[in-house]
A and B are shown apart, each in its own frame.
Chain A
C-alpha cells in the first residue's frame, strides 16, 4: 500500500542554518505529495504541495521537488528562523487510494536563536 517514510527527528538547528528533512514514498500510480506543518498548540496546516513529477512546491521560503526517479520529496529551506520551530509531516494522496492522505511520522524541528 501507499506509505511515506521521513527523516526521524528531532532536528535542532541554529537560526539561519540550512534545513533538509528527507521524505521518500511508496505508491502505486501517480500520487500528489505534500508537506504539512503543525506549530505548537495548533492544527495541521498545508505548507506546500506538488502534484506531478518534477514539480516544485514552495511557500514561506520552504521548497520541495517531486522526484519520481528517487521517489522523494525532500523539504529544504536555506535559512531557518526561530518561528519555523514546529513538527513537519510529509504526506501523499493517490487516486488509487480514494485520495486519502497518508502521513509520515513527523519530524520535530527546533530552531535556536
Chain B
C-alpha cells in the first residue's frame, strides 16, 4: 500500500477484554515499530521488529502485551485483559531499512471502559 495502514482505527473495549491491533507496513519495509501515545504525551516505544525477528521488546509495559510479525510483513499487537491505563493511541511505523526514515500510520485509538 501507499502508507502504513492500521486497523481498527477506533476500538472501545471493556476492562478485562482482549484486543488485537493490526498493522500493515509499507510493502517491503524491513523495520517495524510499535509505539504507545497517551493523551498529551509523546509516543513511547513498545517494540521493534526487523523482518520477523522481534529484536527489542523492552518497551512493552507488562506481560499482557504481546506483538508478533510471523511472516515479516503484517504485525499484530495483542493486549490481554485490558485495563483502563491501556487507553491510548497505538502507533505503528515502518522503515525500508534500519536507520532510514520511519513512516507512521494514523494509529489505533483504544479506549478501555
Query: CA separation between A83 and B74, bound complex, in Å?
Result: 35
Query: CA separation between A101 and B102, bound complex, in Å?
Result: 8
Check if B31 sits within 8 Å of A99, measured CB to CB.
yes
Given known A-B contacts A100-B56, A103-B42, A46 and B101 have beta carbons under 8 A apart? yes
Given known A-B contacts A44-B91, A100-B56, A93 and B42 have beta carbons under 8 A apart? no
Interface residues of B in 40-55 (CB under 8 A from A): 40-45, 48, 50, 55
Query: Residue A104 contacts which of B40, B42, B101, B106 (CB distance < 8 angstroms)?
Result: B42
Residue of B nearest to A42 (CB): B106
| Overall SS of chain B's interface | strand
Contact with B along A53-95 (1 / 0, CB 8 A): 0000000000000000000000000000000000001000101
Check if B104 sits within 8 Å of A44, measured CB to CB.
yes
Residue of A nearest to B102 (CB): A101
- Scoring A43, A45, A49, A104 by chain B CB atoms within 10 A of each residue's CB, the highest score goes to A43
Query: CA separation between A49 and B103, bound complex, in Å?
Result: 13
- Chain B residues with a Cβ closer than 8 Å to the other chain, count: 25
Interface residues of B in 17-53 (CB under 8 A from A): 31, 33, 35, 40-45, 48, 50
Q: How far is the CB of A52 from chain B (nearest CB, A)?
A: 12
B1 interface contact, C-beta 8 A: no
CB-defined A-B contacts under 8 Å, sample of 18? A42-B106, A43-B104, A44-B93, A46-B101, A89-B42, A89-B43, A93-B99, A98-B50, A99-B31, A99-B48, A100-B45, A100-B48, A101-B93, A103-B35, A103-B43, A103-B44, A106-B40, A106-B41
Instruction: A44-B93, A98-B50, A101-B102 given; name 8 further pairs at CB < 8 Å.
Output: A45-B104, A46-B102, A89-B42, A93-B99, A95-B99, A98-B48, A99-B95, A100-B33
